Amino acid sequence: MADFGADVELETFREEARAWLDANFPAALKGKAAQMAGQEGPVSDPDLATWRKAIGEKGWATPTWPKEYGGGGLSPQQARVLAQEMAKAGAFNPLMFGMGITMIGPTILDYGTEEQKQKHIPPIVRGEVRWCVGYSEPGAGSDLASLQMKCEDAGDHWKINGQKIWTSGAQWSDWCGALVRTDFSAKKHEGISFMLVDMHQPGIETRPIKLIAGASPFCETFFTDATAPKDALLGQLNVGWTVGKRLLQHERASQTGAPGGGGGRVTPLHELAKRYCEVDAAGRIADTDLRTRVIKNEMDARTHGLTLARAAAEAKGASGATNAASVLKNSATNVAQTRAELTLEIMGAQGLGWDGEAFRKEEIEAVRGWLGGKAMSIYGGSAEIQNNIISKRILGLPDSTGSA
């Protein structure tokens, strides 16, 4: 029997959400989620600043986070209604592109002390601080457990020395969640701790890395006698590998879902193809091979979305990654990279422009997005490493890599 009381309550909330969005979401930002996400560094847009402040104070940038830390305190059903109304309004969550919301915040909620939650979560919820994640090192990429950045107990504080690489947004960040080695005598997966490090200190230097797509979101980050207070340790000493894996679970969940409330949804491929390619008398893409591949990509995207929903349902009450969650990283990569390839093919020569008046903005963004999207196969764990994890830990296939 349907719970009509609950249905009425949700519809009442829907009206509340719709009214609040009408009053607070700047019309000038409608449908601009992807554009804002693609900006390099902090965006100096007055409408965006107004929207960031409004949704941060409301707590709806983190709708299901606890109210006591500034979150929305909504139920999953209410959060889904909010996302639906944001999509209808062309709105988006302006904080969903940052690591504070997608990775560090959820991990602090999982492992932090009450003092750490009170200190760090409210500024994250309000979008007042930027976070980066210090994981990879020049000698520890896919084999992250080989990391060597040293963290010593200096009495009343921690002293940190070493280097991280591919640190996304480090040059703009206020804080860094870093995996460090606190016991060099332990096995490589042990002796690792997770530290919350203030980036505003002379012992930390960032050097942006220029990428082929023209942006520089990644950095080399150097720590030279950098310090952190004793309460900067997240989780237990020398058990940071567990904390680090949990953060990666949160990262992959954020990478494999749609941005914000859906306002950043891109034009369906079949519609894009009809703008650039010949159509037949029935209004279909005339090239049957292209039509087949476009529809297959859209079907893969729909399948990925359903798997994402299943993983979210399975994750309720689970402390680790589920089998469904483990395949999402590679699934999202395949869908996104295939779409980018098809987009350039559909646009033809117009999809190869770098700048100039001969190309529309969406055409220039397409080629840059195609180049930038190549990194999806690598960041957050390479596709090959993820395939090995799936084969060994989920399918139970024999280990042919010789790894531990």
Res. 254 pLDDT band, cuts 50 70 90: low
pLDDT of residue 316: 60
**C-alpha span between 142 and 23 (Å, rounded):** 46
Active site residues: 251
pLDDT in tens, 231-245: 999 999 999 999 998
Residue (of 204, 201, 196, 193) closest to 177 by Cα position: 196
pLDDT tens sequence across 302-319: 898 888 777 767 766 555
What pLDDT does residue 231 have? 96
Q: Is the pLDDT of residue 94 over 90?
A: no
How far is residue 319 CA from its own chain's centroid? 20
Can you tell me the mean pLDDT for 242-256? 79
- Measured CA to CA in angstroms, residue 210 lies from 166, 213, 219 at distances of 11, 9, 9
Amino acid 256: pLDDT: 54
d(CA 233, CA 279): 60
Structure tokens at 143: 């084999």
Residue 302's CB is within 10 A of a number of other CB atoms, namely: 11
Q: Which residue has the higher pLDDT, 213 or 235?
A: 235
pLDDT confidence bin for 54, thresholds 50/70/90: very high
Say what the pLDDT of residue 309 is: 74
State the average pLDDT over residues 209-215: 77
Q: 375 φ, ψ to 5°?
A: -70, -15
255: pLDDT strictly greater than 90: no
Give yes or no for residue 1 having a pLDDT over 80.
no
pLDDT at 37: 55
- What domains can be seen in the chain, in order of their start residue? 4-125 (1.10.540.10), 131-244 (2.40.110.10), 266-394 (1.20.140.10)
Tokens for 37, please give them.
């996400």
Closest CA to 81 of 175, 9, 165: 9
Q: What is the pLDDT of residue 259?
A: 37
Distance, in Å, from the CA atom of 155 to the CA atom of 138, rounded to the nearest integer, reads: 29
Contacts 24+ apart (CB under 8 A), 180-186: 180/147, 180/149, 180/150, 180/151, 180/240, 181/147, 181/148, 181/149, 181/150, 181/151, 182/151, 182/152, 182/153, 182/237, 182/238, 182/240, 183/238, 184/150, 186/238
Is residue 198 scored above 70 in pLDDT? yes
CA distance 378 to 29: 31
- Dihedral (CA of 9, 11, 17, 20) sign: negative
Give the list of residues 6+ apart from residue 355 with CB closer than 8 angstroms, or none.
Answer: 364
CA distance 18 to 256: 26
pLDDT digits (tens, 9 = 90+) for 98-139: 899 999 999 999 999 999 999 999 999 999 999 999 999 999
Question: 57-93: per-residue pLDDT in tens?
Answer: 999 999 999 999 999 999 988 998 998 999 898 898 8
**Which pTM was predicted?**
0.75
* Residue 403 banded pLDDT, cuts 50, 70, 90: low
